[in-house]
Amino acid sequence: MENPIALSGEAAAALLLRLDGLLLYRSLLDDPVIKAWQSVLRTGIVIGDGTVPLAARTTALVKAYGCWFEAMATAGTDWPRYVIAQVLLAENPWTRQLAAVEAERLEDALKHYDLGGMATAAREDVMALQAVLPWCGQALAQWVAEQVELPNPPAAWEPLVQGADAALDGAAVSQLLGSPNWGAELPVLFGHSQRRGIGLWGRYRAFRWEAGELSGIATPDPIQLNQLVGYEHPMQQLVANTERLLKGLPALNVLLYGSRGAGKSSLVKALVHEYGDRGLRLIEVAKAELYALPKIVERLRGVAQKFILFVDDLSFDADDEAFKSLKVVLEGSATARPENVVVYATSNRRHLVREFFDDRPRPRDADEIHSWDTTQEKLSFSDRFGLTLTFEPANQDRYLEIVNHLVAQAGIVIDAEDLDFRARQWATRHNGRSGRTARQFVDWLQGESL
């Protein structure tokens, strides 16, 4: 990218002052890479007053530049694209309001919010952020060298390959890279917010709740819907329910029940790859964290994206406190259930709560008057899911169908009779017939073919 301005101490001071005046996008100044970049400029400006010995000045500035260079190398992109990513994904009162606006109402919304001064503030902020783009590459390295009279400038950060950021719309990035005035690009900025999300919701599609915090999963399970075969009917029902969620129609909480290795978890995880571009997000919640479900749900209320709270391998003991937390989310409380959240849970137990013969009420049970009611509460817990999808154990025909499907997708060339014989033999010697066993067998075949 060409540098249209001359880099100087005066220009650096003016630019930092302009950034200090950000009104809506102030949080970007706390980004670690942008903070490291600011440190380079601030150190260079202070050094320029001549009151610090040259050796100390050189050390301080070269160290600041090195920290920024390392931060950019870790980010793996160039400076303009990094800044653009932060702007497009920025979460602030302005972007939160516009991200929730329907696409066809965006232009009217921009005019409406301009009355309160926010659109004007947003224009000034993004124009200030655009002004930082030339301060990079060879120009910044040369400026650093000039401040302390280095014989040669330090290495300039220029990534060899420009990788596409999966969280960003490439067309929006290109538009901003080529625009002379970001202040005129507000529809581009906020159209991106609507399509891709902001903050964490824009950066990631899958999340994990642990230790009271929500963390994005940078590399979610890559499983795709077209890789799953053998259970078409429950798959169609789950997809249809998810489509209803995305369209803003009433969607049901779903229990996926059946034998181990049938692909229940894979089916749920594949949904986020299929519908992530349409605003679907997946939050995995471990059984030990179920007590936090009401808190998680409240955090998602009013967010533009649609959410699946995914609970894998669910079962309870009779006195499990997590039982009550999930019950509140499924049945609701005095607070209305958010329309953008559903619970998808998998289990090998039809009734979820562990049952014992001693649980059955008998005449000698004198400690509880209505003991049968207690038993019914346990057995009926799964009924609180609006939709229960059953995954039956795979028979031989279904197992071989899954194997042949995966072999074809993997591009493995093998005699059909030999494949069937080896697949049956693998199931006998390992974990029985299931989708998981089929996947493990095909992974083994792929290793042989390399």
Whether 437 has a pLDDT exceeding 60, the answer reads yes
Whether 371 has a pLDDT exceeding 70, the answer reads no
Contacts of 54 (CB under 8 A, 6+ apart): 148, 149
According to DSSP, residue 398 is labeled H
CB atoms within 10 A of CB 360: 11
Whether 373 has a pLDDT exceeding 50, the answer reads no
Task: List pLDDT tens digits, range 189-209.
Answer: 888 887 788 989 999 999 999
User: How far is residue 197's CA from residue 303's CA, in Å, rounded to a whole number?
Assistant: 9
Q: Which of the residue ranges 45-54, 116-125, 358-367 has the most confident prediction, judged by mean pLDDT?
A: 116-125
Higher pLDDT: 252 or 427? It is 252
The DSSP code sequence of 176-205 is: HHH-S-GGG-HHHHHHHHHHH-SHHHHH-S
Distances in Å between the Cα of 188 and the Cα atoms of 23, 279, 328 are 20, 18, 40
User: How far is residue 416's CA from residue 33's CA, in Å, rounded to a whole number?
Assistant: 55
**CATH classification (class only), 206-224+232-391:** alpha beta
Whether 144 has a pLDDT exceeding 80, the answer reads yes
Task: List pLDDT tens digits, range 272-324.
Answer: 999 998 889 999 998 888 888 888 988 898 888 999 999 988 876 655 566 66
Contacts of 415 (CB under 8 A, 6+ apart): none
CB atoms within 10 A of CB 431: 13
Look at the alpha carbons of 6, 9, 11, 12 in this order and tell me if their dihedral is positive or negative.
positive
Query: For residue 52, what pLDDT is reported?
Result: 65
- Assigned token pair, 422: 């080896």
Contacts of 107 (CB under 8 A, 6+ apart): 187
Domain boundaries, the chain: 9-203, 206-224+232-391, 396-449
- Check: CB of residue 172 under 8 Å from CB of residue 191: yes
79-89 and 186-196 helices, crossing angle to 10°: 70
How confident is the model over 50-62, as a mean pLDDT? Answer: 79
* Amino acid occupying residue 181: N
Whether 449 has a pLDDT exceeding 90, the answer reads no
Query: For residue 428, what pLDDT is reported?
Result: 85
Whether 66 has a pLDDT exceeding 90, the answer reads yes
Q: What is the largest CA-CA distance in the chain?
A: 96
- Check: CB of residue 389 under 8 Å from CB of residue 262: no
User: How far is residue 155's CA from residue 354's CA, in Å, rounded to a whole number?
Assistant: 64
Distances in Å between the Cα of 298 and the Cα atoms of 38, 278, 292, 301, 341 are 36, 22, 10, 5, 10
Whether 342 has a pLDDT exceeding 90, the answer reads yes
